[in-house]
Amino acid sequence: MKKKIEGLIAALLTGFYSDGCAEKRDSVITHCHKSRFINSINVLKKNMEVLLVRKSEKVPMENVLRSLAWQLSGQQKSCRGSLFNIKKESTDMNRNAKLIKIRERSKMKTDKIIFLVATLMAFLLCSACDDGELKSDTIIGLDVEVVGVPVIYETDMTLDVDDVGALAVLHGLQMEGKVTILGISYNETHPLAPAAIDAINTYYNCGTIPIGKYTKILRDPDPSDYYSARTDDVDNMTHDLSDNSVVDAVELYKQILANQLDSSVVVISVGFLNNLYDLLKDPEGFMLVESKVRLLAVMGGLHNDGFNFVRHNLVSQTQYVIENWPGPLVTTHVGGDMITGETLTSRTPATNPVRKAYELEWGVGPNKGRSSWDQVTTMYAIFGTQYFIEDWEGNGSLPNGYSWDFSKGYRGYAAPIDDRQVEQKIERLMTLTPFSGL
């Protein structure tokens, strides 16, 4: 609710500044790294208006905005009475540049403040009725600037912890400007999972990423060692579910895909295929997959898989997805002997939910790693032949007797060129630390 109010204040204030401020001294900030950014923010204290232009693609715009919001909130403590209006606009300087205008509140007249407060209160009273009810046409968090590869992460993050590691890899890649996480879709049914996923996203300053979930009955749902009644478990770590949507997975996919460029989205499936089955069965969903998705990278055994492709009595859904996915579908299953996450405890803070999950998993405690099946699929999905060998001439099979033949660019399999190289890259990405203090 706090962020919602801040957003409303920013939105409402916008109208009061159309005539600008008496003194304008613009400053251009290139957001390269944190220390430079903080130095640049200090300029803000003196200037009436600041232009913030991101010239580097290394940092997602969302991180820039959140850094800015945090810095401003810190300043408000030392500059009593100062409110800031943050307005994000596109510019025509280049495709990725954004413009943020910030103006001090000092020119606001008292009667306008009273009117603003009254308007804000009325708005909040009206909107309060809608809290808790997520409408399909109002998914929060869809409005993101795509930098790098646009990704939807399809995960069963519950029983094993490599799903957590793969999400950390995605956030690491996002920090480096290589991917944009459009949404996360959950194909298990643990009630605490959306909170845990949001806690991980929040740690990476991306707590507004929308989350989809399987909303049907799943046979024998899995337990989790990192979501439970313990107060410091991942689902209880810092996050806010009111600033992002948690909706049915099919709805999430449809809304995200509808907003993307043709043949651009990469779907990374590291769990069960029930959500993707439902998506293909939805006529609109199928059409969107056909037009918007560039690649489906799937973690699953190539022959007689005993986990992702068959558990929860889902083998027929798996078969349907493999048979009917309209674009390229590549599986990976390497990763069992690639152990990662060992340095989470030594290299990342105790507030890191990824570290927490690894410390709780299997009851083995800190400084222990885990197999990297899901991270390997994720690395293939983003880097492809840079680090992987693709096989387009083999075949795969399911325990129910179904088999499929590979064909170039349509069905295939991939494995790392060098396991140790990919393992090291995974470890580094999993332990990248987001901007501290956010």
The Cα 86–Cα 104 span in angstroms is 10
Of 43-51, 260-268, 319-327, 371-379, the window that binds Ca ion (rule: CB under 5 A) is 371-379
Considering the complex, what minimum distance in angstroms separates the CB of residue 227 from Ca ion? 15
In this complex, which beta carbon is closest to Ca ion, that of residue 156 or of residue 423? 156
Burial call 259-289: b when 16+ CB within 10 Å, e when fewer: bbeeeebbbbbbbbbbbbbbbbebeebeebb
Applying CB under 5 A, the span of 118-126, 190-198, 378-386, 420-428 interacting with Ca ion comes to: 190-198
* Under 8 Å between Cβ of 203 and 354: yes
Choose which of 141, 271, 301, 412 interacts with Ca ion (CB under 5 A): 271
Tokens 């994000």 belong to: 88
CB 242, CB 128: distance < 8 Å = no
198 binds Ca ion, rule: CB under 5 A: yes
Task: Kindly state the smallest distance separating residue 376's Cβ from Ca ion, in Å.
Answer: 11
Minimum Å gap between C-beta 6 and Ca ion is: 14
Number of residue whose CB is nearest Ca ion? 207
Residue ranges with strand state E in 166-232: 179-186, 211-213
Q: How many residues bind Ca ion (CB under 5 A)?
A: 10
Of residues 130 through 189, those in contact with Ca ion by CB under 5 A are 156, 163
Q: Check if the beta carbon of residue 74 is closer than 8 Å to that of residue 438.
A: no
Cβ proximity to Ca ion, 99 vs 438, nearer residue? 438
Among 75, 70, 68, 77, residue whose Cα is nearest residue 50: 68
Which of 244, 260, 274, 275 lies at the binding interface for Ca ion (CB under 5 A)?
A: 244
| Contacts for 313 with CB less than 8 Å, ≥ 6 apart | 219
Instruction: Return the range that interacts with Ca ion (CB under 5 A); candidates 3-11, 202-210, 312-320, 321-329.
Output: 202-210
Instruction: Return the exposure string of 214-253: e unless at least 16 CB atoms fall within 10 Å of the residue's CB, then b.
Output: beeebeebbebbbbeeeeebbbbbebbeebbbbbbbbbbb
Give CA separation, 179 vs 57, 150, 169, 259, 354, in Å: 11, 6, 10, 16, 19
We find the least distance from the C-beta atom of residue 141 to Ca ion, in angstroms, to be 8
**Site for Ca ion (CB under 5 A): which residue of 62, 154, 243, 305?**
243
CB of 163 to Ca ion, least distance (A): 4
Torsion of CA 164, 166, 171, 176, to 10 degrees: 150
Of 41 and 209, the one with the shorter C-beta distance to Ca ion is: 209
Instruction: Please report, as residue ranges, which positions from 207 to 226 form the binding site for Ca ion (by CB under 5 A).
Output: 207
- In the complex, minimum distance from the CB of residue 159 to Ca ion, in angstroms, rounded to a whole number: 8
Distance of closest approach, residue 243 Cβ to Ca ion, in angstroms: 5
Shortest CB 388 distance to Ca ion, Å? 19
Which residues ranging from 46 to 105 are in contact with Ca ion (CB under 5 A)? none
Rounded Cα–Cα distance for residues 67 and 118 (Å): 30
Closer CB to Ca ion, 172 or 335, in the complex: 335
Q: Which residues, listed in sequence order, are joined to residue 340 by a DSSP beta bridge? A: 370
User: Cβ 63 to Ca ion, closest distance in Å?
Assistant: 15
**What span, in angstroms and rounded, lies between the C-alpha atoms of 383 and 378?**
9
Nearest to 3 by CA among 203, 246, 240, 198: 240
Whether 292 and 257 have beta carbons less than 8 Å apart is answered as: yes
If the CB atoms of residues 156 and 305 are measured against Ca ion, the closer one turns out to be 156
Least distance in Å: CB of 199 to Ca ion?
8
412 belongs to the binding site for Ca ion (CB under 5 A): no
Using CB under 5 A as the binding rule, whether residue 300 contacts Ca ion is answered as: no
Half-sphere exposure (Cβ direction) of 2: Cα atoms closer than 13 Å: 4
Which residue stretch of 138-146, 265-273, 274-282, 316-324 sits at the interface with Ca ion (rule: CB under 5 A)? Answer: 265-273
Nearer to Ca ion, 244 or 317 (CB): 244
- Positions touching Ca ion (CB under 5 A) are 156, 163, 198, 207, 240, 243-244, 270-271, 374
